[in-house]
């Protein structure tokens, strides 16, 4: 299931982020059922097209949803939300779990695991969020997290619709009208 990672530079092509999220939800459907978590999905009905490596973006979405499922208290809700504007697309994954404040500064570092007493952490290599950050940044995007006892945890990935245009603008190669 998690054999998405491939070496090398991202293979950019037009991809529908909505379909990518739906595909990941189908892949994870057995885990969603097994974890006894209610899943709420809020995706636009129209495609959200991004110039990206579809397989790498699938890996990011798998990592975030899988983590949300594993670190959610039983009987709670995991929400998956996606939206976009002219320049960026966002994917948000929210659960009722809380990340310990001392982990927040190193959460995206390699081999960082959540609560060491949890089953999810014992069977984790601690690379999922590190990989997700590396992929997001390779696409010119970002990943961030907010977590509190009251609000739970939300991860947001923000991707530019076309990272090559962003790179050209930053390097001074883009033509201006």
pTM of the model: 0.84
Which one, of 101, 109, 112, lies nearest residue 153 by Cα? 101
Show the 3-state SS of 109-124.
CCCCCCCCCCHHHHCC
User: What domains appear along the chain, each with residue ranges and CATH number?
Assistant: 13-167 (3.30.565.10)
Question: In this predicted model, what pLDDT tens digit does every residue of 102-140 receive, in sequence order?
Answer: 888 898 988 787 655 554 544 556 789 999 999 999 999
* Position 1 confidence tier, pLDDT thresholds 50, 70, 90: very low
Rounded to an integer, what distance in angstroms lies between the CA atom of residue 32 and that of residue 48?
24
Which one, of 149, 136, 153, lies nearest residue 92 by Cα? 153
* Position 176 confidence tier, pLDDT thresholds 50, 70, 90: very low
Which one, of 107, 103, 97, lies nearest residue 152 by Cα? 97
Write the burial class of residue 107 (CB in 10 Å: 0-12 exposed, 13-18 middle, 19+ buried): buried
Question: In this predicted model, what pLDDT tens digit does every residue of 62-110 receive, in sequence order?
Answer: 999 999 998 888 889 999 999 999 899 999 999 998 898 888 889 898 8
Q: What is the mean pLDDT of residues 52-65?
A: 95
């Amino acid at each position: 299931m998690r054999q998405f990672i491939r070496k090398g530079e991202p293979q950019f092509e037009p991809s529908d982020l909505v379909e990518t999220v739906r595909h990941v939800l189908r892949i994870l459907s057995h885990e969603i059922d097994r974890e006894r978590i209610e899943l709420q999905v809020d995706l636009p009905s129209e495609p959200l097209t991004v110039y990206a490596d579809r397989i790498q973006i699938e890996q990011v979405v798998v990592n975030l949803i899988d983590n949300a499922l594993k670190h959610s208290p039983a009987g709670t809700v995991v929400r998956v939300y996606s939206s976009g504007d002219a320049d960026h697309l966002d994917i948000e994954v929210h659960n009722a779990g809380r990340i310990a404040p001392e982990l927040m500064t190193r959460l995206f570092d390699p081999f960082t695991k959540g609560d060491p007493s949890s089953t999810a952490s014992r069977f984790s290599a601690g690379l999922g969020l590190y990989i997700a950050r590396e992929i997001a940044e390779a696409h010119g995007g970002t990943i961030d997290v907010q977590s509190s006892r009251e609000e739970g945890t939300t991860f947001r990935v923000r991707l530019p619709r076309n990272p090559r245009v962003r790179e050209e603008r930053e390097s001074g190669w883009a033509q201006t009208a």
